[in-house]
Structure 1
């Protein structure tokens, strides 16, 4: 073997031995993940105040789909059951009007008005809250077996359901895209986090322990009762 070849072999062996020593030192230690306690599972991110309001709109919109289905059925020979109609209207009253809208009127509107923002929009939203409550009064009065036997009252009831849907769809859309972003912009993030916690406390005070989740389960039952529970049925063909 030439002198140069011997030198190259010596250097190669030295490098391998050095690498082996380094590997041996590190191999003796436990891998980074071994011997350590598993990290506790992180908590899910909390729902902030505007996200809370917007997901409540989701429950309301699903109830509006129930209203639409009931209005359509009222014009046929197979009207919806009176108890289903009454349950849908009571959900609107309890969840939308007595909780969600009350939260807006007590917590959201006044803060924006004080800041001089969204005044005209808030004026219209307040008027629509009042109009919706009047419609709900009429729907509840007409959601009885006796009333559903009368063709004229069925037609009037269908009109009330359609009017509520026609008003609330743009109402909720404007709040989601204009009112709530303006409301969020009023707060520093830490203060907004605290407000979200207060919203959650109020939710359970008014709606009970189940809160939002109970409302979702309730609207799902109504969807099944009127035959619109299969989301795939809405897929465009």
Structure 2
């Protein structure tokens, strides 16, 4: 049986690849507003909009029912890191706007925030895959895992069009072919 945590770990494969793309873009000193915007949209619509929605709206509350506090402990740390990630994304957006205004500092703002986001998410995913999801696997019954998986499918079904899960994975794969 595929579990809810396995579904999230599958997402992590592509989110990690996106962080590697971001690091490569910084290393190669890419200056491509369209690609920066695509990265931001992939984060906002796939990593945050779909993946983090599955965690924040479904898995973490279910873990809360099992005694995992959203204000202290591992779930609280993950929630805090999601907020940090959103702040890095806002920094990328600010840098893109600076570039549009012909402010050469914008590129450095983008690079700093891409690096920060990539490092944060790589460490964050290691904690989720290695610790938090293993805790979830221990406390959630097979029925609860199945129920979460059905709810995850509903979240993904609601995300249609240009940034559905399948479309997002395809876009990440295209960027990987360019930068990795």
**TM above 0.5, one fold?**
yes
Richer in helix (by share): 2
With 144-153 and 118-127 compared, the bigger mean Cα shift is at: 144-153
Give the one of 153, 170, 181 matched to 2:134.
181
Give 1:69's aligned residue: 24
Give 2:109's aligned residue: 156
Give 1:56's aligned residue: 11
With 84-93 and 197-206 compared, the bigger mean Cα shift is at: 197-206
Give 2:167's aligned residue: 214
CA displacement 1:84-110 (0-9 Å, x = unmatched): 111011101101111111211111112
Give 1:28's aligned residue: none
Give 1:38's aligned residue: none
Give 1:83's aligned residue: 34
Give the one of 204, 211, 222 matched to 2:157.
204
Instruction: Return the alpha-carbon distance in structure 2 between the equivalents of residues 179 and 115 of structure 1.
Output: 13
Instruction: Return the alpha-carbon distance in structure 2 between the equivalents of residues 208 and 162 of structure 1.
Output: 29
Instruction: Return the alpha-carbon distance in structure 2 between the equivalents of residues 210 and 47 of structure 1.
Output: 24
Give 1:9's aligned residue: none
Instruction: Return the alpha-carbon distance in structure 2 between the equivalents of residues 48 and 208 of structure 1.
Output: 26
Give 2:122's aligned residue: 169
SS in 2 for 1:117: coil
SS in 1 for 2:68: coil
Instruction: Return the alpha-carbon distance in structure 1 between the equivalents of residues 135 and 106 of structure 2.
Output: 42
CA displacement 1:62-82 (0-9 Å, x = unmatched): 1101110111123xxxx3311
Instruction: Return the alpha-carbon distance in structure 2 between the equivalents of residues 137 and 108 of structure 1.
Output: 25
Give the one of 53, 57, 61 matched to 1:106.
57
Native 8 Å contact 2:59 2:148 kept in 1: no
Structure 1: runs of 5+ lacking an equivalent: 1-45, 229-237
Change (3 A) 1:64 1:176: same
Q: C-alpha root-mean-square deviation of aligned residues, in Å?
A: 2.4
* Pair member with larger Rg: 1
Offset at 1:152?
Answer: 2.3
Change (3 A) 1:108 1:195: closer
TM-score calculated relative to the size of structure 1: 0.67
TM-score calculated relative to the size of structure 2: 0.87
Offset at 1:186?
Answer: 2.5
